[in-house]
Structure 1
Amino acid sequence: MNRTVAVSKRAQKRIQSLNQWVYKSDLIDAAKAAGSIANGDIVDVTDEDGRFLAQAYFSGLSQISLRVLTRRAQDPIDENFVRARLLAALDRRRKLIDLSRITIVRLLNSEADFVPGLVVDKYGDYLVLQSLAAGAEKFIDTALDFYEKETGCRGILIKNDAQVRKLEGLEMYSQWRGESASGPLRILSDGVHYIVDLAGGQKTGFFADQRKAYGLLEGRVNGGALLDCFSYSGAFSMNAFKYGAKSSVIVDVSKEAVELARETARLNGVYDRCEFVCANAFDYLKYESSKYKAASGNEPPFDFVVLDPPTFTKSKSHVGEALRGYKEIALRAARLVKNGGFILTCSCSFHITMTDFYDSQCAAFSDAGAVGYLAGAGFQDERDHPVISSMPESLYLKYFIFQMSK
């Protein structure tokens, strides 16, 4: 029989609206719960009067104390329960994505697929699994068995080295099940070759959520010069070459990322058309843009600028600082792009709203003495990074493309 955890009226409303998170501040007696319930245990969640609300994972260490699994008391939270949700998520991808053409795919996206804390990515013949919550730990073996059977993969890397695990009191480790990849993988996905370092790369090895943004390059980069800031392995640049770009300057602060971009460019046969810069993108943009202020009379060098930084904030308290950062890089980019050129600007923080992000970019263009014509906007690729109405947190990536007039 499950232990019980009572929550506030505010949390009750969140659960009844189908949100899956309950914060520590909304537990009636957080200290008592933490002292009597083990991390990862499944508990019955009740209102202040003891009425059942949901079954959830419990964590006494994380600020997210409860991750809701079901609002039905009669559901047994067992292997069959988890398999059914894994299968529903996989079937969704099979219906929406041509998996023979697009071979880098997120097969399971945690809360957005109703399996809180568990992420599974597919890279060609290999998978990477991450468990990010104590409650998800008990279902790792179930997930491994399921994906081995359903995908026929050669091997699965259990990459449990994300820093968020420390907040859940979980150990950090990586290990293989099945055949291990001997080094970085070379994968052809949607007409572009990628090099993915599963073991040493960021996150699970790659960022598949920008797939739709790559399509915004089509018809806008043909014959043009690209500046790719915060590039990681150069995915935007490689897709730009796919759509006819002439050249690209690839900028990232990580030496490992720049080397990965070099190898990726070689693999795609465009190495000689790239310049690789290992530098802080803020510093690079500041220095280069100083040469092209309006009064200088110098012609800016780029037809298209991509700004795809890492998250600038993971909390509400730093939103103002983050918006100033987005504004600064957009201002610099506006000085570096030619009249009639394009800027694709991205934010991957849930705490940055679409409106605030848009306003920060418009303010940047005004300060640069330019006007940006909105040419497109979008979000993460919802086919494998679902956005669900009950979890605003599931919508995190947003981007705009502007055509610049000076």
Structure 2
Amino acid sequence: MSLPILQLKKDQDRRLKAGHVWIYNNEIDTQLTPLAHFKAGDLVVVQSHRNTPLGIAYVNPHTLLAARLLTPQYQRTINVDFFIERLQRALDLRHRLFEEPYYRWIFAESDFLPGLVVDRFNDVIVAQINTAGMEKLQDDILAAIIKVVAPKTVIWRNDTLYRDTEQLPQYVNIAYGENVNECIVRENQCEFISMLQSGQKTGWFYDHRDNRRRMAHYVKDKTVLDVFCYLGAFAIPLAKAGATRVTCVDSSKTAIDFVIENATRNHCCAQIQTHVADAFEFLHTTSQKYDVIILDPPALIKKKKDYHAGLRAYEKLNQMALALLNPNGVLFSASCSMHLSEADLLNCLRRASVNLNRPIQIIEQLHQGRDHPVHPAIVETNYLKGYITTHFPEQALSRASADHSA
């Protein structure tokens, strides 16, 4: 079956030729190929203004980001076999990276399946579709997942806010197999219970796996504050790494209940303290000081229009945390906001340090885990950034200055 043509304007093929996969509606020659002629999710062959085929995309005439390229092979058939090939290629990479089957299996554009996210929890798969194009191909995606890994369960977590942009309904259901909500996750020599249907996102945040392991080097015999702790993915391994006390703060009582259950499962209850509280309020009111503080907030800048307000929130958050840090303490500060750059976060830390007159040093720079690869042409796929900093006491600076003068 031949696919309809989506024609681009003159010179609007440059981004695709540079490796990108997105096409905006103002790049389309709507005189030759009116968007009104397409239905959301239709497959098309994208052509340059010179009629050169550029590949197969799916289209949504109702959105600013009007089309996403699935493959540059314009004669390719998009079917179950196509998805089996892409899923298997991504799976082969994860097999090289991880010993156990707990990881992000598909990271959308970075794994060349735009609009699709898939997380693996051993024999349970949680998949999330964010675009009308992938929604229309849902049956093929499900069949391919079953063929490649023969899971016990496949869950659709199609409840993201972005689906509103694509004019898609939000829902969660069991697509295949047994009805599962609570599931075991193994990570960093720890075992957790997570909520796959009712938890945040897909139930777990694999992107910080390596950063959690890195923080274990800083906590032996130290007191730790874990703000926005969720299910304890930082707190539990840090307690097992030798922290004397880990204080966990989250606004969700359900999340805190799971922290306690996960601490019990990992035999570290004695070191875990919990608070159901708003993070900003807790940081503002507590008088307790800590040796190590973990700041891993949800995205505080969800849209470009929220940038300035979100930037102020990040600075306030980091300043309150830095004020609670003991001399020579360590602050882990991260952001998953796509609209906040590494430089922005660094400036938040710098301004917080200056405002408090508490000098800091950056000792490590943080990124997302290896199961969240970065597409080199799509900066948005490099979304997670962070820093590990240490507080350099002012007294130490004064002593150094005095020694130099002498």
Normalising to structure 1: TM-score of the pair?
Answer: 0.91
Distance 1:28 1:98, change over 3 A: same
- Separation in structure 2 between the aligned mates of residue 171 and residue 257 of structure 1, nearest angstrom: 26
Is 1:355 the counterpart of 2:347 in the alignment? no
| 1:93 Cα offset (Å) | 0.7
Contact 2:188 2:213 in 1 (8 A): no
- Judge conservation of contact 1:24–1:30 (CA < 8 Å) in 2: no
Partner of 1:72: 73
Report if aligned partners of 1:157, 1:180 keep a CA contact under 8 Å in 2.
Answer: no
Relative contact order, higher structure (CA 8 A, sep 6+): 1
User: 1:285-330 CA deviation, whole Å, 9 max, x = no partner?
Assistant: 1222xx4xxxxxxxx6211000001111133333222222111111
- For 2:167 and 2:79, locate their aligned partners in 1 and report how far apart those are by CA, in whole Å: 23
Question: 1:331 offset after TM fit, Å?
Answer: 0.7
Matched, 1:405 2:392: yes
Mean Cα deviation higher: 166-175 or 194-203: 166-175
Structure 1: runs of 5+ lacking an equivalent: 292-299
Cα distance in 2 between the residues matched to 1:339 and 1:65: 52
1:325 aligns with 2:313: yes
- Find the aligned partners of 1:216 and 1:156 in 2 and give their Cα distance: 32
**Matched letter for residue 345 of structure 1:** S
Is 1:21 the counterpart of 2:22 in the alignment? yes
Residue of structure 2 equivalent to 1:295: none
Deviation at 1:275, TM superposition (A): 2.0
Partner residue in 1 for 2:329: 341
Amino acid at match of 1:273: Q
Residues in 2 aligned to 1:64 and 1:309: alpha-carbon distance in whole angstroms: 28
Structure 2 residue matching 1:358: 3-state secondary structure: helix
Tell me the CA shift for residue 205 of structure 1. Answer: 0.6
State the Cα deviation string for residues 189-219 of structure 1 (Å, max 9, x = none). 3311211101100111111100111122122
Q: Is 1:163 paired with 2:189? A: no
What residue is the counterpart of 2:137 in the other structure? 139
The AA in structure 2 aligned to 1:380 is Q
Per the alignment, residue 370 of structure 1 pairs with 358
Which residue pairs with 1:393 in the alignment?
Answer: 380
Distance 1:6 1:31 in 2: 7
Note if contact 1:388-1:394 (Cα within 8 Å) is conserved in structure 2. yes
Shift of 1:352: 1.3
Deviation, structure 1 residue 44: 1.9
- Specify the alignment match of 2:215 in structure 1: 217
Shift of 1:169: 2.1
How far did 1:337 drift?
A: 0.9
| 1:168 partner amino acid | E
Map residues 37-116 of structure 1 onto 2, 5 A cutoff.
37-99=38-100, 103-116=101-114
Alignment CA distance shift 1:182-1:2 (3 Å): closer
SS in 1 for 2:154: strand
Cα offset for 1:230?
A: 1.2
Residue 296 of structure 2 corresponds to: 308
1:118 aligns to 2:105 (yes or no):
no
Structure 1 Cα separation of the partners of residues 76 and 146 of structure 2: 26
Q: CA 1:47–1:374 in 2, change beyond 3 Å: closer, same or farther?
A: same
Distance in 1 between residues matched to 2:180 and 2:48, nearest whole Å:
51
Alignment-derived partner of residue 257 in structure 1: 255
Does the C-alpha gap of structure 1 residues 9 and 396 become closer, same or farther in structure 2, counting only changes over 3 Å? farther
- Which secondary structure does the structure 2 equivalent of 1:89 belong to? helix
Q: Indicate the SS of the match to 2:218.
A: coil
1:49 offset after TM fit, Å?
4.6
Cα offset for 1:368? 1.4
Secondary structure, counterpart of 2:208 in structure 1 = helix
1:64 CA drift (Å): 1.7
State the Cα deviation string for residues 366-403 of structure 1 (Å, max 9, x = none). 11111111111121002x11112121111000110001
Q: Is the 8 A contact 2:79 2:140 kept in 1?
A: no
Q: Secondary structure at the match of 2:361?
A: strand
Q: 1:192-231 alignment to 2 at 5 Å?
A: 192-231=190-229
Q: SS where residue 111 of structure 1 aligns? A: helix
1:30/1:67 CA distance change after superposition, 3 Å? farther
RMSD: 2.0
Matched-pair identity in %: 29
Quote how far apart the aligned CAs of 1:355 are.
Answer: 1.4
Alignment-derived partner of residue 270 in structure 1 = 268
Deviation track 1:162-208 (CA, whole Å, cap 9, x = no partner) reads: 22222222232222244324441233333112111011001111111
**Does the residue aligned with 1:359 lie in a helix, a strand or coil?**
helix
Residue type matched to 2:188 in 1? D
- Asked whether the equivalents of residues 211 and 381 of structure 1 are also in contact (C-alpha less than 8 Å), the reply is yes
C-alpha distance in 2 between matches for 1:352 and 1:138:
32
- Amino acid of the residue matched to residue 324 of structure 2? L
The residue type paired with residue 152 of structure 1 is A
SS at match of 2:54: strand
Structure 1 partner of 2:403: none
Cα distance in structure 2, aligned partners of 1:143 and 1:283: 44
1:32 Cα deviation from its structure 2 partner: 7.0
Matched residue type, 1:43: V
Number of residue pairs aligned between Structure 1 and Structure 2? 392
- When the two structures are superposed, what TM-score results if normalisation uses the length of structure 2? 0.91
Return the match for 2:284 from 283, 286, 289.
286
CA shift, 1:145, in A, is 2.7
